[in-house]
Amino acid sequence: MTRHLLDVDDLTPEEFQAVLELAGDEYPPRVLAGKGVALLFQKPSARTRNSSEMAVFQLGGHPVSIRDEEVGVDRRESAEDVARTLAQYHCAIGARVLDHGLLLRMAAVSGVPVINLLSDQAHPLQALADVLTLKAHWGGTLAGRRVAWVGDGNNVARSLALACALAGVEVAVASPEGYGLDEASIAAVARLGGKVSQTSSPAEAVKGAGAVFTDAWVSMGDEAEAAERARAFRPYQVGTELMALAAPGAVFLHCLPAHRGEEVTAEVIDGPSSLVWPEAANRLRAMRGLLLLLFGGV
């Protein structure tokens, strides 16, 4: 059966650890020599496109980035036929989609792995990079650590909660009413043996947390709700006062793009506790690690 990575829990706990280890190989074998990887985007991207292209290149392969306008998914031809077509030329298909269901449809017919490059539900490569960043910062095992997510219980939050479950890290989520993690995500975390708690209080969530995460209040696709979201999330801004309530030496992470003055203050994201640039750098390692797992024969 073809392997796909639609969210972090498509990896077994052993594979998850293997990806983290393989990600650290700065001189990886050229396991993609002579092979192509298609990278399809229905939404904008800076980090995901560039880190994915460079990961494929560093493994000896050839990335082909495609904007949806070029192929017209479900307009020029069906998502299934796009996937079947790309699978004729490439050893994997990465896709950033508006609707997670599209990934499921592509994966159902693709003879090569489909990799989620962000959907409305999940962002697994970001979560892998986030765990890599925490590991590098804290060193050794992450088991028993605690992190806080302040803001929208969105795609990035869901994948992070799953990755933290696999890493043995407890997650405390603070969101306004109606914007928390959904029941299915909480159940998926529990299935992995993880611990996640939800509150509406940012102060409560960050208490004892060694890392504080946030993300945009308005994700790609949520633009019509911008005004309503700005009102709901205003008390959830991560500033120095909130960071001071976290564990001593707590670090700040954000998948980017960031909106200074909205979900985070400039003082925090550009300050000494911020790990956002190593976190962005780890996107490349995460993609390399995943491709090595899928194609390295380990």
CB atoms < 10 A from the CB of 64, how many? 15
User: Least Å distance between CB 212 and ligand CP?
Assistant: 17
- Has 126 been annotated as catalytic? yes
Out of 215, 254, 285, 288, the active site residue is 215
- Has 191 been annotated as catalytic? no
Q: Which residue is nearest to ligand NVA (CB)?
A: 219
Q: Rank residues 145 and 254 by Cβ distance to ligand CP and give the closer one.
A: 254
Taking each helix axis from N to C terminus, what angle separates 13-23 and 276-295, rounded to the nearest 10 degrees? Answer: 120
Which residue matches tokens 């997510």? 149
Q: Rank residues 91 and 116 by Cβ distance to ligand NVA and give the closer one.
A: 116
- Has 62 been annotated as catalytic? no
User: Least Å distance between CB 200 and ligand CP?
Assistant: 26
Among 43-51, 191-199, 200-208, 222-230, which window interacts with ligand CP (CB under 6 A)?
43-51
Site for ligand CP, residues 140 to 199, rule: CB under 6 A? none
Q: Rank residues 4 and 283 by Cβ distance to ligand CP and give the closer one.
A: 283
Site membership for ligand CP, residue 48 (CB under 6 A): yes
Out of 42, 58, 121, 126, the active site residue is 126
Could you tell which of ligand CP, ligand NVA, none binds residue 282, using a CB distance below 5 to 8 A set by kind? Answer: none
Instruction: Round to whole Å and give the CA distance between 179 and 281.
Output: 29
Site membership for ligand CP, residue 274 (CB under 6 A): no
AA letter at 14: E
Binding site for ligand CP (CB under 6 A): 45-48, 118, 126, 255-256
Residues assigned a catalytic role: 96, 123, 126, 215, 255, 283
